[in-house]
Amino acid sequence: MAGLNALEGAALAVGGVYMLVMGLLGRPDSPEQAEMGGLTLIVLALIPLLAARGLLLRRSWSRGPALITQLMALPVAWTLLRSHGGLIPAGIVLAAVALTALVQLFRPVTREALGIRGPRATPEA
């Protein structure tokens, strides 16, 4: 599970560096927009990377950022799936990774490993 979050974070960082370099050295329609997009992706990559580190160290706080990352990935995957050509396989992979990570984050064994208590039982009347 930590590996899936790290993979997503690394992919965001690589995409951000690519956009930044292309904004500086390439010929985009809007260099400023490409550079800002690249910087934004690099900063956003910190969320899943920090979550991955926290999950690896079994920190309970890491589940929240990991969940947010996966929930943000699902609309991106949907957009990629509705596109044409080579982006469809990327959408399939992203959806599979996000759904797998979500399932893993909700497993009782994960909550237990992170020290998160399950829902409280309500007393019967």
The whole-angstrom distance between residue 120's C-alpha and the CA centroid of its chain comes to 29
Question: What does the pLDDT look like over 86-97, one tens digit per residue?
Answer: 899 999 999 999
pTM: 0.84
Mean pLDDT computed over 83-111 = 93
Mean pLDDT rounded to a whole number for the chain: 91
- Specify burial of residue 53 (Cβ count, 10 A radius: 0-12, 13-18, 19+): middle
Percent of the chain with pLDDT over 90: 81
Instruction: Please report the pLDDT score of residue 117 as a whole number.
Output: 82
Query: CA torsion 86→90→96→99, rounded to 10°?
Result: -130
Q: Where do the domains of the chain lie?
A: 2-114
With 90 as the cut, is the pLDDT of residue 56 above it? Answer: yes
Confidence at 123, pLDDT banded by 50, 70, 90: low
